[in-house]
Amino acid sequence: MDLNTFRNKIDETDDSIVKLLMERFAVVKEIAEYKKERGLDIFQQARETEIMKKIADKIDNEEYRDYILKIYSEILDASKSLQRKSNSSSS
């Protein structure tokens, strides 16, 4: 394989990641509304711990483990930020 072939594969993977993140964040906004209507806190430590454990359990390549968990931690932080923004803009 040449470098362009590898880069094309990365581009395809990035397209998939962006599509899935957009789907995830759409659900995050729905969750924000649900929590707002019920007076629930945005940050729920038990749920975040559960999510991170589920993600860690799915990683079968130890070389990638720390990288994936770091990225997922950022995704969760972005999700909380989006929920806060959604709640403040829909007041």
Give tens-digit pLDDT for 30-49. Answer: 999 999 999 999 999 999 99
Q: Which CATH architecture has domain 3-89?
A: Up-down Bundle (1.20)
What are phi and psi for residue 20, nearest 5 degrees?
A: -70, -35
Residue position matching structure tokens 């931690």: 73
Q: Which amino acid is at 64?
A: Y
CB 65 within 8 A of CB 56: yes
What SS3 class is residue 61?
coil
Q: Assess whether pLDDT exceeds 90 at residue 85.
A: yes
Q: Report the pLDDT value the prediction gives residue 89, as an integer from 0 to 100.
A: 77
Q: Give the C-alpha distances (Å, rounded to integers) separating 15 from 2, 20, 56, 90.
A: 20, 9, 23, 30
Question: Domain segments of the chain: what residues?
Answer: 3-89
